[in-house]
Amino acid sequence: MKPNFPIPEPKLVWEHFFDLVAVPRPSKNEGPAVDFVENWARKLGFHSVRDAVNNIVVHVPATVSNPSPPVILQCHVDIVSVTAEGNPEGADASLGKIPLVRGDYDPAQSKKLIPNPSGDWINSPFTTLGADNGIGVTMMMAFAERPIRRVPLELLFTVDEEAGMTGAIGLDPKKLGLTGTRLINIDTEDDDEITVGSCGGRDIVISWTGDWTSSIEGETFRLTVDGIKGGHSGVEINQGRGNANRMLARLLHAVAQTCPIQILEWTGGSRRNAIPDKSTVLLSTPSGNQDAVRSIIAKCKENYDRLYAGRDSSVQIRFATATSAHAKALTVGSTLTLLRMVQSIPTGICEMTPELPVLVESSCNMAIIETVEGGSIKVICSVRGTTAESMSDVSDSILAISELAGAGIKISDSYPGWKPHLDSELLHAAIEQYEKLFGTKPRVHAIHAGLECGLLVEKLPGLHAISIGPNIKGNHAVGERVQISSVAKSYRYIEAILESL
C-alpha cells in the first residue's frame, strides 16, 4: 500500500513495509506473508527454506572473505488484526486493508494522529497497523540488501507468534539449516531497551454450560461496555486499565440485585493477548425495569470514571432495546452463577516479583467471552508468569473457581520463559555499541510478556539472544503507531552490532 506522504528514511525499510502492510497476515493465516518473503528472497538469489509449520529462513551470505560465524535475525510475520466497527474507509486488517496516516501524536485521542506529512509517527486510525512485527520483518530484509555484509545472516521469519507461538513451538532448526549461536530478535517496542528475558505463558479455556430455558421473560436489551484503551496483555497489564469483560460482569451483577435478568448471548474481547476493550451482552428482564436499570448504569459509569481516571479512556456504556432470534436464554439462577464465576476469575496483576518490584511476576487476562452455538459459554484466559510455579498458582485458582461453578477447563499453548544470559558476548556488544552511538546506557531488563526467544533458546542449545526494536505504541489495538525516527535509530543500532560482531 503506497502512502500519500513522503517515504521516510531508511527508505528501503519503509518501502518494504508499505508493501507488506497490504499483505493479509492475521495469526494462523500468514501464508501470503511467507510467500511475500520467499518471493523477495528468490528475486535476490538468496536460498530460502520452510519447515512443516511454515516458518521460513532466508540464508544471506557475507560479502567479505573469512567472515565471522552467522547471526540469526528473527521476527514473526503475523499480526493481531483488529478493526474498528463501522469505520468509514472499509478498512479490514485481516485482509490487508490498512489505511495509513503520518502525523503527530495527539494525547487527546490516542488512537488517531494529527495528520502531518512530515510528522514522526505512522498509524492506522481504524485498525492495528502491523508494525508489530512487520517493521522488524522489513528491517531484516533491508539488512540483507546491504552491499557490504561482514557477517552471514540467517533471517528467521516465524508464524503465529500472536496467537500461541505455534511457529516457534514447531520450529525445525535442522530442516531450516539454522547454525547461528547468536540471535537478535527485533520485537521489543522501546528503542532504549535491551530485553534479555521474558515470562512464560499458557491459555486456559473455560467451558461452562449452565441451565438454558425457552422461557424468556419480559423485554430484550443489548448492554455494551466499551471506550476502553485495551492494549497488550503482557507489556501493558501493569497500567491499571479496565477489562471490559470484568467491568460488564460487575455491572450486570449490580443490575441482577435489583431485577431478575437472563443472558441470551455474551460477546467480549477479540484476542487472547489483548486486554478486551469492548464487551456486549444480550439480556432479558421483566417489563417495567428500564428506569431502574438505567439508574444502576449511571451509578456504575460514575464509579468507573473515578476508578480509571487518568489511566484509561472514557468508559462508554450503552443500553438499548434489541430484537433476538435466540430461542433460549440462561435461567435467572444460571445467569447469576455465570456472573459470579466471571467476577471471581483473577484479572490483571496477580503478583509482583519480590526481587524486582517493578516487574510483574504473574498475571491473568480474561481475554474473551463468547456464546457457543448449542448452548454454552466459553471464557478464554491468558496466564503469564516468570516461573512455572507462578503460572501454576494462577492456573490453580482458575481451576478451583471453574470447578465450583460446574465448568470444565483446558490448558493449551504453553510456552517457557526465557532466562537471561548476562555474560554473553552478544549482550556486551549490544551495550557497548549503544553507548558509542547514543552516549548513554541502554536499559537491560526482562519483560512480563511472551517472546519467542524462550522457545528458540530451548530449540537451539547454546544460543544467546537479545531482543531490541523501535518505539511502537498501542500494539494489538486500533490506532497502533510506530515512530519514524526510532526506526532509523534502531536500524543504525542493529547495523552497528552486526559490524562489531
Residue 374 has pLDDT above 80, yes or no: no
Average pLDDT, integer, range 415-442: 92
Average pLDDT, integer, range 348-355: 87
- Burial bucket for residue 62 (CB in 10 Å: 0-12, 13-18, 19+): middle
Q: DSSP string spanning 180-235? A: -SEEEE---S-TTEEEEEE-EEEEEEEEE---EES---SEEEEEEEE-----BTTT
Q: How confident is the model at residue 67, as a pLDDT?
A: 87
Q: How confident is the model at residue 311, as a pLDDT?
A: 77
Phi/psi for 72 (5° steps) reads -90, 125
Rounded to whole angstroms, how far apart are CA atoms 42 and 40?
5
Nearest in space to 161 (alpha carbons), one of 77, 57, 231: 77
Average pLDDT, the chain: 93
* 6 occurs within a structural domain: no
Same domain, 238 and 377: yes
Q: In the structure, what pLDDT confidence band is assigned to residue 297 with cuts at 50, 70 and 90?
A: very high
Where is the domain boundary, 363, 395, 415? 415
Same domain, 349 and 456: no
Rounded to whole angstroms, how far apart are CA atoms 221 and 324?
9
**Cβ proximity of 483 and 233 under 8 Å:** no
Q: How confident is the model at residue 34, as a pLDDT?
A: 98
**Cβ proximity of 345 and 373 under 8 Å:** no
171: which 3 cell numbers? 520450529
Same domain, 401 and 435: no
Rounded to whole angstroms, how far apart are CA atoms 157 and 271?
22
Same domain, 422 and 472: yes
Q: How confident is the model at residue 1, as a pLDDT?
A: 57
Range of the domain at 141: 11-199+418-500
Q: In the structure, what pLDDT confidence band is assigned to residue 327 with cuts at 50, 70 and 90?
A: confident
* 355 occurs within a structural domain: yes
* 2 occurs within a structural domain: no
* 437 occurs within a structural domain: yes
Kindly state the percentage of the chain with pLDDT values over 70. Answer: 99
Same domain, 238 and 352: yes
Same domain, 170 and 78: yes
Beta strands in 395-500 (DSSP E): 408-415, 443-447, 464-467, 472-473, 481-483
Residue 355 has pLDDT above 80, yes or no: no
Average pLDDT, integer, range 174-187: 97
Same domain, 323 and 449: no
Average pLDDT, integer, range 119-127: 96
Nearest in space to 229 (alpha carbons), one of 331, 330, 324, 111: 111
Query: Which residues in 237-254 are b (16+ Cβ under 10 Å) and which e?
Result: beeebbbbbbbbbbbbbb
Where is the domain boundary, 361, 384, 415? 415
158: which 3 cell numbers? 516465524
Q: In the structure, what pLDDT confidence band is assigned to residue 86 with cuts at 50, 70 and 90?
A: confident
Rounded to whole angstroms, how far apart are CA atoms 82 and 273?
12
Query: Which residues in 324-363 are b (16+ Cβ under 10 Å) and which e?
Result: eebeebbbbebbbbbbebbebbbbbebebbeeeeebbbbb
**Cβ proximity of 381 and 365 under 8 Å:** yes
Q: How confident is the model at residue 324, as a pLDDT?
A: 83
Beta strands in 373-403 (DSSP E): 376-385
Q: How confident is the model at residue 88, as a pLDDT?
A: 81
Average pLDDT, integer, range 394-412: 95
- Amino acid in the structure at residue 234: G
Give the lowest-confidence range in 36-50, 83-97, 202-216, 310-324: 310-324
Same domain, 50 and 39: yes
Same domain, 49 and 164: yes
Average pLDDT, integer, range 245-264: 96
Give the lowest-confidence range in 39-48, 231-240, 265-274, 342-351: 231-240
* 1 occurs within a structural domain: no
Rounded to whole angstroms, how far apart are CA atoms 444 and 361?
18
Give the total number of structural domains in the chain: 2
**Quick check: bond before 10 cis, omega within 30?**
yes
Same domain, 428 and 397: no
Phi/psi for 467 (5° steps) reads -130, 130
Phi/psi for 238 (5° steps) reads -90, 10
CATH number of the domain enclosing 26? 3.40.630.10
Number of neighbouring beta carbons within 10 Å of residue 209: 15
Q: In the structure, what pLDDT confidence band is assigned to residue 373 with cuts at 50, 70 and 90?
A: confident
**Cβ proximity of 285 and 294 under 8 Å:** no
Q: How confident is the model at residue 234, as a pLDDT?
A: 86
Q: In the structure, what pLDDT confidence band is assigned to residue 367 with cuts at 50, 70 and 90?
A: very high
Rounded to whole angstroms, how far apart are CA atoms 26 and 229?
21
Give the lowest-confidence range in 34-38, 51-55, 408-412: 408-412
* 4 occurs within a structural domain: no
Q: Is 50 left (phi over 0), alpha (psi -120 to 50) or beta?
A: beta
Strand order across the 472-473 sheet? 113-115, 101-105, 121-123, 481-483, 472-473
CB-facing half-sphere around the CA of 153: CA atoms within 13 A: 28
* 392 occurs within a structural domain: yes
CATH number of the domain enclosing 216? 3.30.70.360
What does the pLDDT look like over 433-476, one tens digit per residue?
999 999 999 999 888 887 899 899 989 999 999 999 999 998 88
**Cβ proximity of 277 and 229 under 8 Å:** yes
Same domain, 240 and 347: yes
- Burial bucket for residue 296 (CB in 10 Å: 0-12, 13-18, 19+): buried
Q: How confident is the model at residue 24, as a pLDDT?
A: 97
* 211 occurs within a structural domain: yes
Sign of the C-alpha dihedral, residues 400, 402, 407, 408? Answer: negative
Number of neighbouring beta carbons within 10 Å of residue 182: 23
Where is the domain boundary, 362, 389, 415? 415
- Give the list of residues 6+ apart from residue 420 with CB closer than 8 angstroms, or none: 196, 197, 446
Same domain, 278 and 343: yes
